[in-house]
Amino acid sequence: MVDKALGGAGLRGQVAGETALCTVGKSGSGLTYCGYDISELADKAQFEEVSFLLSRGELPTESELTEYKAKLKSLRGLPDALKTVLENIPKDAHPMDVMRTGCSMLGNLEMEQDFSQANDAIDRMVAVFPSIICYWYRFSHDGVRIETETDDDSVGAHFLRLLHDEAPSALFEQVMNVSLILYAEHEFNASTFTARVCASTLSDIHSCVTGAIGSLRGPLHGGANEAAMDMIEGFTSADQAEDALMGMLERKDKIMGFGHAIYRESDPRNVIIKKWSEKLAAEVGDDVLYPVSVRCEEVMWREKKLFCNADFFHASAYHFMGIPTKLFTPIFVMSRVTGWTAHVKEQRANNRIIRPSADYTGPEARSYTLISER
Ligand SMILES: CC(=O)SCCNC(=O)CCNC(=O)[C@H](O)C(C)(C)COP(=O)(O)OP(=O)(O)OC[C@H]1O[C@@H](n2cnc3c(N)ncnc32)[C@H](O)[C@@H]1OP(=O)(O)O
Ligand SMILES: O=C([O-])CC(=O)C(=O)O
């Protein structure tokens, strides 16, 4: 039964299915993965434990984690045909389009033949997505063909090494770890719903993920971290940021990195990434971007009761780690692939094709006029 008050545009407030993977805005700090609170996971877990949890349903034991990480390490290499495709994508392409093409090409080369192969396909995507984006980025921007098979212990360190050609500091590796955990899963958000709709037709897992990447690309969803960065780096001080923001609000501009479709008062991921952004600011000696970000947060709450979502302080955090803005949303992909694919498996396990109805608002029935008489 649809709640009329909440229903309508954007399917807001309507239940579109069941999930055992995640709660958003219900218990604990407001976000849980398979019952585990996000703040505890971000504080204590490795991203690979979370990835294992989402694909296997339980946290790994120590030996399972060791084996799982060894498997991910062994899957970081790129097939030659995929390298060729990546080398042909222009430098000015959008990195999310590179991810979309990379995932789709992987599906051509390593097709999921039947659903029993899902976990192998998922592990491969988790392991190889950082290689895909960095191989393209370094080839198109620096003119080098990088070796993507590294010995780094974590997905986050692997990504940073490929990007910067050196092992990351312990702090940077930890921030990447936290970031990947925070972005891993979020119930029926737009990109996950895309993946589930695709899965409901019994399509293959690479098609589901390719579609989801397309949905995540938009600035109202994952693309907001890049859009937030574009905005804050234009501000020269906290006071100037406040003036500019007041003007934007006056003009009714949408402020990227603020607001949420489900959370009403805060996004539990914000307090976590904000803390790490502050640590990074101190580490790199920033005295502009972090204070500017904090002022934006204060102004938005004071003026509009709008709060930072997961994306806002990710912008400064990634920037402090020397990550180019256009790679921000691909990092989201590297993480959310775990949530998307868990939903694909959940959809498959209890499937009915997703096919809602529409209220018709077009013309009344009318008869066809021959083209010669129009
Ligand atoms: C990881 C993620 O994907 S988190 C989301 C990332 N996206 C962004 O940061 C983009 C900016 N934010 C937004 O566009 C929206 O807040 C969304 C898309 C996240 C949610 O959209 P909705 O569910 O429609 O928002 P909601 O119903 O809470 O909006 C209420 C009002 O606040 C306004 N509002 C919401 N967010 C913002 C914002 N960031 N800036 C200015 N106004 C806003 C809306 O325009 C709406 O006003 P209206 O009723 O006059 O149209
Ligand atoms: O849940 C949403 O609508 C968007 C979001 O925060 C996410 O996908 O992480």
The answer to whether residue 336 scores a pLDDT higher than 60 is yes
Q: For 166-178, how does the pLDDT look when each residue is reduced to its tens digit (9 = 90+)?
A: 999 999 999 999 9
Mean pLDDT of all residues in the chain?
96
The answer to whether residue 86 scores a pLDDT higher than 50 is yes
Q: For 247-297, how does the pLDDT look when each residue is reduced to its tens digit (9 = 90+)?
A: 999 999 999 999 999 999 999 999 999 999 999 999 999 999 999 999 999
Residues 6+ apart with CB under 8 A from 279: 171, 175
- Please tell me if the CB atom of residue 343 comes closer than 6 angstroms to any atom of ligand 2: no
Are 154 and 168 in contact by the 8 Å Cβ rule? The answer is no
Query: Looking at residue 84, what is its pLDDT?
Result: 98
Between 92 and 25, where is the model more confident?
92
- Please tell me if the CB atom of residue 171 comes closer than 6 angstroms to any atom of ligand 2: no
Q: What percent of the chain has pLDDT over 90?
A: 96
Which of the residues are catalytic?
221, 260, 311
Residue with CA nearest ligand 1 atom 11 = 256
The answer to whether residue 346 scores a pLDDT higher than 80 is yes
- Please tell me if the CB atom of residue 310 comes closer than 6 angstroms to any atom of ligand 2: yes
Using the atom order of ligand 2, give the atom closest to the CA of residue 183. Answer: 9
The answer to whether residue 184 scores a pLDDT higher than 60 is yes
Query: Looking at residue 1, what is its pLDDT?
Result: 41
Among 258, 270, 302, 307, which residue has the most ligand 1 atoms within 8 Å of its CB, making it the best to mutate? Answer: 258
Ligand nearest to the CA of 212: 2
* pLDDT class of 28 with cuts at 50, 70, 90: low
Average pLDDT on 123-135 reads 98
For residue 31, which amino acid is it?
L
Give CA angle at 186 (14, 155), nearest 5°. 160
Distance (Å, whole) CA 218 – CA 209: 15
The answer to whether residue 54 scores a pLDDT higher than 70 is yes
Query: Looking at residue 26, what is its pLDDT?
Result: 85
* pLDDT class of 164 with cuts at 50, 70, 90: very high
Residue with CA nearest ligand 1 atom 48 = 252
Which three-class secondary structure string do you get for the chain? Answer: CCCCCCCCHHHCCCCCCCCCCEEECCCCCCEEECCEEHHHHHHHCCHHHHHHHHHHCCCCCHHHHHHHHHHHHHCCCCCHHHHHHHHCCCCCCCHHHHHHHHHHHHHHHCCCCCHHHHHHHHHHHHHHHHHHHHHHHHHHHHCCCCCCCCCCCCHHHHHHHHHHCCCCCHHHHHHHHHHHHHHCCCCCCHHHHHHHHHHHCCCCHHHHHHHHHHHHCCCCCCCHHHHHHHHHCCCCCHHHHHHHHHHHHHCCCCCCCECCCCCCCCCHHHHHHHHHHHHHHHHHCCCCHHHHHHHHHHHHHHHHCCCECCCHHHHHHHHHCCCCHHHHHHHHHHHHHHHHHHHHHHHHHCCCCCCCCCCCCCCCCCCCCCHHHC
For 209, counting Cβ atoms within 10 Å of its Cβ (0-12 exposed, 13-18 middle, 19+ buried), the class is buried
- For the record, the structure tokens of 346 come out as 């959940």
Alpha carbon of 212 to ligand 2 centroid (Å): 12
The answer to whether residue 12 scores a pLDDT higher than 60 is yes
Q: What percent of the chain has pLDDT over 70?
A: 98
The answer to whether residue 2 scores a pLDDT higher than 60 is no
The answer to whether residue 298 scores a pLDDT higher than 50 is yes
Distances (CA, A) of 17 to 214, 264, 352: 22, 22, 10
Distance (Å, whole) CA 53 – CA 21: 9
Residue with CA nearest ligand 1 atom 18 = 220
23-31 own/partner pairs: CB under 8 Å, 24+ apart: 23/187, 24/186, 24/187, 24/262, 24/263, 25/262, 25/263, 25/264, 29/268, 30/263, 30/266, 30/267, 30/268, 31/186, 31/268, 31/269
Ligand nearest to the CA of 187: 2
**Residues with Cβ within 6 A of ligand 1?**
220-222, 224, 254-261, 306, 309-311
Average pLDDT on 199-209 reads 98
Alpha carbon of 333 to ligand 1 centroid (Å): 21
Residue with CA nearest ligand 2 atom 7 = 186
| Among the listed residues 331, 263, 374, the one whose alpha carbon sits nearest the alpha carbon of residue 47 | 331
* pLDDT class of 4 with cuts at 50, 70, 90: very low
pTM reported for the whole predicted model = 0.96
Average pLDDT on 182-198 reads 98
Distance (Å, whole) CA 76 – CA 74: 6
Residue with CA nearest ligand 1 atom 41 = 254
Q: For 350-373, how does the pLDDT look when each residue is reduced to its tens digit (9 = 90+)?
A: 999 999 999 999 999 999 999 999
Query: Looking at residue 8, what is its pLDDT?
Result: 66
Phi-psi region of 11 (alpha: psi -120 to 50; beta: other; left: phi over 0): left
